Amino acid sequence: MAQPAASRPRANPSAEVTLPGRLITLVRRRDRPVCVMLPGAGGGLGPYLPLASSLGTTHSVYAIRAAGLLPGERPETSVAEMADAALAAVGELTPSMIFGWSLGGTVGWELAVRLADRGSTPDLVVVDASPLPRPPTAAGDERVRSAILAGLGPRPEPRSLERVLGTVSAQMRALVDYRTERPYPGRVLLLMCPDTPDSTEGFTDRAGAVRRWRELAPDLRVESLGAEHFAVFEQANLGELTDRIAEFQEQRC
């Protein structure tokens, strides 16, 4: 006999939700080497899509989406947690290149170090990231939040906006408490943006950051970009970025 409606146990909607995996396919090419991309603060992959299209001429390109942007997810609260999750998401893939900008560069470094522990040393491209703790400043925090919110459009959905802001706050706190300590033996291309009067995206001592990267990476190539931190992926600047990466890859051949 069927139970009366009032006495039937109610399903728990949250228990029935299965979140998608963290590894996102951007470009898949059969029998091509694998590139894995790590997003900057906020976790948005939109800025990476033109670059992924360019890299897709020679690679299969994947990205690791940030935790905290989907309903029911909590953001990760340390760089180590982010890197461990990225390693789990990569799974059995063997990347030949890792790319990360800003926060993604720091997480990319830690992912590369973990892959080296497995015996793999992919090329690593780090764009305007620091291995030093992020100085928390009101101006810097607000600039990061403003740049991320600008990418959400004029009327973001309130719950999505709340999740994005929560994720960004957790990521910025994680960088305050983090210092890159482990060296990486693979090839590294470090592309740094220029210092500008409003260069408050998370670190003001780019020279100190480069010195520390040199200490950690015995096979490091350092170059400068003409674009400021938040303009790296704009159409006018994309050619410079792709050219530098292509030159770096050609050196391996």
Q: Can you give the pLDDT at residue 83?
A: 98
Per residue, the 3-state secondary structure of the chain, as one string, reads CCCCHHHCCCCCHHHHCCCCCCEEEEECCCCCCEEEEECCCCCCCHHHHHHHHHHCCCCEEEEECCCCCCCCCCCCCCHHHHHHHHHHHHCCCCCCEEEEECHHHHHHHHHHHHHHHCCCCCEEEEECCCCCCCCCCHHHHHHHHHHHHHCCCCCCCHHHHHHHHHHHHHHHHHHHCCCCCCCCCCCEEEEECCCCCCCCCCCCCHHHHHHHHHHHCCCEEEEECCCCHHHCCCHHHHHHHHHHHHHHHHHHC
pLDDT above 90 covers a percentage of the chain that reads 71
CB distance 178 to 135 below 8 Å:
no
CB distance 208 to 180 below 8 Å:
no
Is the pLDDT at 43 greater than 90? The verdict is no
pLDDT category, 149, cuts 50, 70, 90? Answer: confident
Mean pLDDT for the stretch of residues 65-74: 93
Compare 90 and 155 and report the one with higher pLDDT. Answer: 90
Write out pLDDT tens, residues 171-200: 999 999 899 999 999 999 999 999 865 555
Is the pLDDT at 16 greater than 50? The verdict is no
Q: Can you give the pLDDT at residue 210?
A: 96
Task: Give the predicted TM-score (pTM) of the model.
Answer: 0.88
Residue entry with tokens 């004029």? 154
Mean pLDDT of the chain: 88
What domains can you pick out in the chain, each with its CATH number?
Answer: 20-252 (3.40.50.1820)
